Amino acid sequence: MTDIIPSKRFFKIGEVSRIIGVPTHVLRYWEREFSLVRPRRAPSKQRVYRRKDVETLLHIKNLLHDEKYTIAGARKKLKLPSDHSSHHPTLDEIKQELIALRRMLD
């Protein structure tokens, strides 16, 4: 999927429109609907998309057009896994675990 994206860091909305294959108004709509896509604004007030934004938009297009998800369904699909599966231990939790392991070894 990333093979069709030119090797540039930033893209204007017209370029992204051609790469993704949807009109610019659809890209602007998707920006409102999907919080993952947030292009920056250049000093000239033009939208400037990063490569990651373009990859995300390609994924969104695939979900909506090819896999036939609704906007709400695609939003759910793009969300991170539930809290318990994406839990990252804090430093205190790691420290307590290491202390417990050390006690077991002594």
Backbone angles phi, psi at 70, to 5 degrees: -80, 170
Segments forming the whole domain that contains residue 35: 2-81
The C-alpha atoms of residue 40 and residue 46 are separated, in whole angstroms, by 8
Query: Could you tell me if residue 15 is inside a domain?
Result: yes
The C-alpha atoms of residue 98 and residue 87 are separated, in whole angstroms, by 18
pLDDT digits (tens, 9 = 90+) for 25-49: 999 999 999 989 999 998 999 999 9
Overall domain count for the chain = 1
Instruction: With respect to residue 45, please indicate whether it lies within any of the assigned structural domains.
Output: yes
What residue ranges in the chain does DSSP mark as E strands?
10-12, 40-41, 47-50
Summary mean pLDDT of the chain? 87
Q: What CATH number corresponds to the domain at position 19?
A: 1.10.1660.10
Angle at 70 between CA 59 and CA 12, to 5 degrees: 40
pLDDT band at 87 (very low <50, low <70, confident <90, very high): low
- Asked if residue 85 has pLDDT above 90, the reply is no
Look up the pTM and report it.
0.70
The predicted pLDDT at position 82 comes to 44
